[in-house]
Amino acid sequence: LPTKMITGSCLWGIGDLTAQVVPHYASGTDKPFVYDWPRTGRAVLFGFALHAPTSHLHFNFLEYLTNRVGVTGLGIPVFKTIMEQFVYWSWISNSMYHAAMGLMQGMTFHQIYQRLEDVLWDTQKAQWAFWIPVQLLNFQFVPVRHQLNVVLVTSIVWTALLSAWYPPVEEEEKPKEEAD
């Protein structure tokens, strides 16, 4: 688990770095590039403290559940992908991402709830398009002990997409907390 946490932090950091650098230089803008170190720090902390440990538990639980239900053969990757993407994990991991990023950006609970309400469904649809093919292959061909590693490496692209789609809210853009 500690190795997965360290790996997760590094790869989430690389994903955020990619999300910051590639669009800037691909746009051909003349503006000087200013790297957002706190943003990468949030991604690294999320990968280390939340994503890697909970993903480790998820993959072990998913393997247990698959064995308990008695799924075999080609049904294994299909069962695992359906459970992961539609029943519980994608909803948990995407909510955890948006909530953690909001907390680390100083959002209030109300603002985080609003953020989840605004972006979770679109994140889910993007997740399904991206992760379903990846996980079908991962669950079919990779031993359980290495499945999180495949996800962590593939997450460089996913993290870059998340960081690009949902950049930190600038201070002046943060909505004022509504009175209770």
d(CA 21, CA 33): 8
Q: Which residues contact 101 (CB under 8 A, 6 or more apart)?
A: 42, 46, 166, 168
Sign of CA dihedral 87, 92, 97, 101: positive
- Amino acid 132: pLDDT: 95
Reported confidence tier of residue 73, pLDDT bands at 50, 70, 90: very high
Contact 16, 55 (CB under 8 A): no
Q: Please give the single-letter amino acid code of residue 26.
A: A
Q: What pLDDT shows up at residue 174?
A: 47
Nearest to 150 by CA among 53, 45, 57, 59: 59
Task: Over range 58-65, report the average pLDDT.
Answer: 92
Contact 165, 94 (CB under 8 A): no
65, 83 Cβ separation under 8 angstroms: yes
The CA R_g of the chain, rounded to the nearest whole Å, is 17
The average confidence (pLDDT) of the chain is 87
User: Average pLDDT of 16-45?
Assistant: 90
Both tokens assigned to 7: 């790996």
Contacts of 51 (CB under 8 A, 6+ apart): 8, 12, 93, 96, 97, 155
125 Rama sector, left if φ>0, alpha if ψ -120 to 50, beta otherwise: alpha
pLDDT of residue 171 exceeding 90:
no
Q: Which residues contact 75 (CB under 8 A, 6 or more apart)?
A: none
pTM of the prediction? 0.80
| Contact status, residue 15 vs residue 163, Cβ threshold 8 Å | yes
Tell me the mean pLDDT in the region 30-52.
93
